[in-house]
Structure 1
């Protein structure tokens, strides 16, 4: 049946540019596709196709491939031969894996739609999709995304709604062209500080996660739309707490001294640190106090500052104040804080 459906195209000769076989109850891809090397668009959505035929490797001029709503279980290795492909629709299948090498030849791919599948992870090789601008992986089972995804320099839209993500890598800061980020209905507890470096980000939707507080500088994002309903955001409910003393370990005292001396460009320590990679690794996690500006390593006071959302943001209903995470180095600085800065209860 599938072969007969292509008779008309084959009679037109090898110059056929478009083949549409949408909803034909096909149970396999027609192998005669290999006889149409100049094909530009192939639409086989809404069929019963369980796998891609080997002959597809001949379609090196194909720019649009739609295999949505079929029975595929993987993104096959044969995809690497479609070197001209710009748009790939694989939504509504049963895809649970991406074959090794599948991304190798897709250097021109701009849009990849993997919505409504069964993916639990993405391979590191996703970073080979150098031209990708829009990635849709809504309604899958992802628990994380590889840091390599964050090196797709042209990516402007990332759709990860309705997965099982618990965190976003700090490397997201490298998606300098990202304009739209959708993370609706995941299990994300914390947004990385790197998200605040996304200067072109205009739409951010994190509704339905378990986020309580946002990273510093979050209010500086140039968003046009921001949605965060159904997150357990920290509310301004101050109460008195007893004063505590600062008790630091020797490691913390030493680390603070080294970090602050390095910040002042102490030549002796700057030279010495080059010979101790273990020490460099330890102090790489240092942070600086929002009050005094001095550096510290692991002992801090987590505070919250409530700021009004930008007037330029289109926001969720009832969002009046955005809680920002602020770190202080000591109770001494805590006592010198601004009255709008609150400690966070550990109870």
Structure 2
């Protein structure tokens, strides 16, 4: 049946632009496709295809390829020859890996759908998909995402629902155009502070994770939809805690002195620090205490401030207060805090 449809298309001339072979119980892609070099759209979903034939590499004008619901076990190497491809659907296969070089020629790809596969990792090569705007890898087995993914400057939508992610890299802050970020049903415990830099983010769904507290500037996000049900968020409940003494290491004492002198533009230290890159790197990790306004490094107290969610957010029904992380430099400052700031009880 598939061959007859293709022969009919070939007889119709090389200018055939769309071929639909969905649900035909095809075991392999017909090699006669190479006789249709002007083909733009190829639908092959809902078949029994386990491998892609080499002849598909002749389809250099192809812009849409749907291989969803087949039996593929890898993202095929042949994809690199489809240099005009804009939309690639590979959902519902058995994909557990990317073939070497599969991403090399996909410079025009804007949509990649890998839902319902068996991927445990994404290769660094995804960073080569420079035009990608929509990436969907729902219902896989991802334990992490590569940092290279965070440098896809045009990415607008990222779906990672139902995976095994435990963290999101701080480099997520570089996805300046990200508007929709879905992380439902993973094992994430902390959202990186970099997520607060995503000024275009409008939809964020983190339902069903292990998040207790959000980064300090989280409530400044311009979200229109935010869902966080089934997370063990900190609640505003009173408890008794024992005050501990401030014990700082020599490195912390020295670092605090240097950082606060630099903040005051101490001329000698400002010049001297230029010759010590390892020190510059260390103090670049400085945090500023919201109580006393001074800088500190590694010894800090984690507190929480509960704020109502912005009125413009469409939110989960159970979210009445957003717990925001606040880091302060000492118990002395903790004792000077305002009444809306609470210490986090260690259980």
CA-to-aligned-CA distance 1:151-210 (integer Å, 9 cap, x gap): 111111100000000000111111111111000000000000000111111110000000
Aligned to 1:188: 188
Aligned to 1:104: 104
Distance 1:261 1:344 in 2: 31
After TM superposition, the structure 1 stretch with the greater mean CA deviation from structure 2, 268-277 or 287-296, is 268-277
| Pairing of 1:149-188 with structure 2 (within 5 A) | 149-188=149-188
Aligned to 1:24: 24
| Pairing of 1:195-214 with structure 2 (within 5 A) | 195-214=195-214
CA-to-aligned-CA distance 1:276-330 (integer Å, 9 cap, x gap): 2322232232211121221111100000000000111110012100000000001
| Pairing of 1:133-152 with structure 2 (within 5 A) | 133-152=133-152
Distance 1:148 1:258 in 2: 34
Q: What SS does the corresponding residue of 1:342 show, helix, strand or coil?
A: strand
- Give the alignment's Cα RMSD to 1 decimal: 1.1
Aligned to 1:304: 304
Aligned to 1:92: 92
- Structure 1 segments of 4 or more deviating over 6 A? none
Aligned to 1:325: 325
Deviation at 1:13, TM superposition (A): 1.5
Given that 2:211 and 2:231 are in contact with CA atoms closer than 8 Å, whether structure 1 keeps it comes out as yes
Q: Which runs of 5+ in 1 are unaligned?
A: none
Distance 1:180 1:339 in 2: 35
Distance 1:100 1:270 in 2: 48
| Pairing of 1:208-247 with structure 2 (within 5 A) | 208-247=208-247
Q: Which runs of 5+ in 2 are unaligned?
A: none
**When the two structures are superposed, what TM-score results if normalisation uses the length of structure 2?**
0.98
After TM superposition, the structure 1 stretch with the greater mean CA deviation from structure 2, 30-39 or 240-249, is 240-249
Given that 1:3 and 1:31 are in contact with CA atoms closer than 8 Å, whether structure 2 keeps it comes out as no
Given that 1:18 and 1:42 are in contact with CA atoms closer than 8 Å, whether structure 2 keeps it comes out as yes
Aligned to 2:61: 61
After TM superposition, the structure 1 stretch with the greater mean CA deviation from structure 2, 265-274 or 54-63, is 265-274
Given that 2:239 and 2:345 are in contact with CA atoms closer than 8 Å, whether structure 1 keeps it comes out as no
